[in-house]
Structure 1
Amino acid sequence: MNKKTICITTLEYPPDIGGVGESVHRIAQMLVSSGYEVHVAVFRSKQRLVDDGSVRRASCKTRFQDGVFVHRIKSAVRDDLQEIQDFFSDIYFQLNFLHHQYNFDLFHAFFLNETGYVTTLLAKENDLPVINSVRGADLHKHIFNPKNHAQIAWVLENSDWVTFVSQDLRKRANAIAPSVKLKSSVFWNSIAPINFTKLRTPPLVSELSGIIIGSSGRFRDKKGIEFLLDACSELIKEIDLTLLLIGNFVEKERKYWQQELKQCCLGSRLRITGITTRQEALAYLPHLDIFAIPSLTDGCPNALLEAMLAGCAIVGTRVDAIGEILEDGVDGLLVNPGSSAELKTALLSLAIQPQLCKQLGAAAKIKAQQKLHPSIEKQNWIDIYQQVLTTSATATLPEVSLV
């Protein structure tokens, strides 16, 4: 049997920072270990502009990285205002060139409205199967841009298969493109085992006091951090606590978050690590009394899975995979998104019941080890790939009579 050649398209890939990149890397390794030849094409529209007024040709730089062919594509910059259609045209040309060079058997795009569109168009023109994977922001945020709606709907309708990391995301996709319900599946991200005892104690731990409440990630609009700030500002009137934010706020929202931080009443009891390595971020988790993930929308966040594996007592919101993975009162506490009052109540409940913290944390760790193990996600992907490739191979075009 000939080795099948897969082309995955994505907005980011390690060493780029981001959850989508981490997921694509994990999935690419699963496919390589299952006998596929895997190519990852990385591109995003944010890279189409330059700050220094320089110009450049379109390019594609290829590197063999951890058994995967990684192609980093850049569009040309010919003037100060690089139009989005010029970007997509350049990307399509480079991606098509890669296809003629490597003869891909299947395309797989992560994110609908950039990678998904150009990838699906190329696949359909070459009569090749295409899988699109919805990660969260594409249907929770970008769908509300009227310019994106028709494009996203077209991608969903023309996919051979669509995957989702939460039932909420599939429900929205079904509303946009009803055919999705017949060619889609939902399953969570996975997380590989981590030995937290071998991680070096991070620098801020010795400076934290009271009940340590933590959250981690790239903090932005969807993360609901303002409601956590409000909850802790009220909670500190009743208990001694420190709120530790492991990560930092995204640059484009910095002015907003500076205002939020200025208005909260935590003072020195709020600590922000800034951008850290993943190893350092993980090392903080065993030192937390409570892990809070107050997201308004969030797909299937890696931060949740890492906290579960660390055995943290977790307070999360009833959104996306957070509300699907955690069972309220069994392996975490769930609150409604956007409610500072509910967050405060849940955090206080855990703060005054250390035994409950231990109980919920232990149950969360067991669930992560058993139901979020990479072997489960790997089998889900292999099943989908085999099904899509088999269906494509057996499909026959109708005969056309020439008159």
Structure 2
Amino acid sequence: MKYMSKLVILIVYITKPDIRYGIGGVRKFLTLFSSFAISRSIKIQYCTMFSKPLNFGFLNPACNFIFAIRLLIVLLRFHKDSGVRYVLYVHDAFYSGFVAILASKIKKMPVILHYHNSPSLCFLSASSNTFLARIGYVIIHLVEKYVLKHSHAIIVTNYTLKKLICRLGVVEKRITVLPMPVPLRNLQVGFDRFSVCCKLNIPSNSFIIGYVGRLSSEKNLDILIKAFSMLMEETGDSNMRCILVGDGLERRRLEDLVAKLKLNDFVVFMGFRLDIPLILNVLDVFVLPSKTEGSPLALIEAMAAGKCIVASNIPAIREIVENGKDALLFNPSSPEQLKKVLLTLRNNPLLRRMLIENARRKAEQYDVNVILPKIISICMGVDTYS
């Protein structure tokens, strides 16, 4: 495919994808996308609210609003060169999305919204049922709806999100469904399990269950820890381990839960890591217990790396894996059900092998060289201003 050299993609997001601060699914994607676009002679420029992730506690909404205004000023002052086509590529349907829509109307640049999840539904699932929370939900929902309706093209990560925004009145022809891409070549590498386990200080004969991603409330990691505790109690197997790779606001609370269940010697918090392929190599089972997801990059990476998959039985995950064929799914509110699934896999290596082979084959459709050219094509072809 031939690409335009006179195309500049302005990525509008909350922060830059900087490995010093940890990389979640969207930031991993932006790193991959930027490298791919630059290799095709397309200029990438970041316009972000923060230079690094910040947490202001209960002042988050007010501080985010102030930083969003600053981002709007940056976009309005942006100088456009003649003969060059500019596209605003947005990855947040609230703060930075709203700012991008306002700027696009003044600067005459089309907006492509990459809709990874619904900010209003994420807020609703993480908040308490109070009057202020309901007011917050209404505000976020109205802004989200405005951003969706005024974006010139929308990329969604699954068909569930497509149905959701169609119900909000978005014209279907502006929506493209594309899953999150993974670099298959980087994940399908072999490691010696014994040496990796020694490096991680984990017994090589352990049955190892693992998770990779943010330690945040929507990831529902309480369920995994409780299920692991029940599994250990039922089997009496002191060689089992549960490793949690990643960091986030929930870490302290999860560490307290592990201590309460007396699992300190069996649950390992590994923090942020750059050697994810190496970590995935030692896992017998990868678990994604999320309550809500868009197109979970960690799940697709685990599939590509040849891991046995256990995941929540929610719509976004069912679009990627089929229960009993390439994964085993469970009710994300039931630690008992998750425990039974893990016990089944522990006792049935042939079932694990079948799930692994099917998942690895399916992962091929998510390769960066399949997905990213389609996104570039959308950036090149989106309706623009005269």
**TM-score category by the smaller chain?**
0.7 to 0.9
What is the distance in 1 between the residues matched to 2:315 and 2:79? 35
Residues 249 and 257, structure 1, Cα contact 8 Å, conserved in 2: no
Higher relative contact order (CA 8 A, sep 6+): 2
Task: Give how far 1:153 is off.
Answer: 1.1
Task: Give how far 1:307 is off.
Answer: 1.1
2:140 is matched with 148
Q: Does 2:7 align with 1:14? A: no
Task: Give how far 1:387 is off.
Answer: 2.8
Task: Give how far 1:296 is off.
Answer: 0.8
Residues 10 and 42, structure 1, Cα contact 8 Å, conserved in 2: yes
1:94 is matched with 74
What is the distance in 1 between the residues matched to 2:32 and 2:70? 28
Task: Give how far 1:230 is off.
Answer: 1.8
Give the direction of change, closer, same or farther, for the CA distance of 1:287–1:84 in structure 2 (3 Å limit).
closer
What is the distance in 1 between the residues matched to 2:202 and 2:64? 49
Of structures 1 and 2, the larger Rg is shown by: 1
1:383 is matched with 377
1:207 is matched with 203
1:41 is matched with 47
1:77 is matched with none
Q: Per the alignment, in what secondary structure is the counterpart of residue 94 of structure 2?
A: helix
What is the distance in 2 between the residues matched to 1:183 and 1:128? 16
Give the direction of change, closer, same or farther, for the CA distance of 1:49–1:319 in structure 2 (3 Å limit).
closer
Which one-letter code corresponds to 1:325 in the other structure? I
What is the distance in 1 between the residues matched to 2:232 and 2:40? 51
Q: Deviations over 1:230-285 (max 9, x none)?
A: 2122211333252322324523x345324422333534222222332x21x32121
Which one-letter code corresponds to 2:299 in the other structure? L
Please, which of 24, 28, 31 is the counterpart of residue 25 of structure 1?
31
Q: Does 2:179 align with 1:184? A: no
1:109-188 aligned at under 5 Å gives the runs 109-136=90-117, 138-142=119-123, 145-175=137-167, 177-188=168-179
Residues 169 and 320, structure 1, Cα contact 8 Å, conserved in 2: no
Residues 295 and 337, structure 1, Cα contact 8 Å, conserved in 2: yes
1:257 is matched with 254
Residues 120 and 137, structure 2, Cα contact 8 Å, conserved in 1: no
What is the distance in 2 between the residues matched to 1:387 and 1:297? 32
Q: Deviations over 1:1-52 (max 9, x none)?
A: 761222111223133422211111212223233342222223249878999x
Q: Does 2:227 align with 1:221? A: no
What is the distance in 1 between the residues matched to 2:222 and 2:48? 33
Residues 288 and 312, structure 1, Cα contact 8 Å, conserved in 2: yes
Which one-letter code corresponds to 2:30 in the other structure? V
Residues 191 and 281, structure 2, Cα contact 8 Å, conserved in 1: no
Give the direction of change, closer, same or farther, for the CA distance of 1:264–1:104 in structure 2 (3 Å limit).
farther
Please, which of 6, 13, 18 is the counterpart of residue 3 of structure 1?
6
Q: Deviations over 1:132-165 (max 9, x none)?
A: 1112262531476333222111101100111111
What is the distance in 2 between the residues matched to 1:309 and 1:48? 32
Task: Give how far 1:343 is off.
Answer: 1.0
What is the distance in 1 between the residues matched to 2:348 and 2:64? 54
What is the distance in 2 between the residues matched to 1:137 and 1:28? 24
TM-score, structure 2 normalization: 0.83
Give the direction of change, closer, same or farther, for the CA distance of 1:83–1:271 in structure 2 (3 Å limit).
closer
Residue segments in structure 2 that go unaligned for 5+ positions in a row: 125-135
Task: Give how far 1:357 is off.
Answer: 0.8
Give the direction of change, closer, same or farther, for the CA distance of 1:358–1:31 in structure 2 (3 Å limit).
same
What is the distance in 2 between the residues matched to 1:313 and 1:255? 28
Residue correspondences, number? 358
Residues 213 and 290, structure 1, Cα contact 8 Å, conserved in 2: yes
Give the direction of change, closer, same or farther, for the CA distance of 1:371–1:159 in structure 2 (3 Å limit).
same
Which one-letter code corresponds to 2:368 in the other structure? P
Aligned Cα root-mean-square deviation (Å): 2.9
1:44-59 aligned at under 5 Å gives the runs 44=50
2:245 is matched with 247
Percent of counterpart pairs with the same letter?
25
Residue segments in structure 1 that go unaligned for 5+ positions in a row: 52-80, 397-403
1:358 is matched with 353
1:334 is matched with 329
Q: Deviations over 1:196-226 (max 9, x none)?
A: 3268726325436542111122211111111
1:269 is matched with 266
Q: Per the alignment, in what secondary structure is the counterpart of residue 24 of structure 1?
A: helix
Residues 215 and 251, structure 2, Cα contact 8 Å, conserved in 1: no
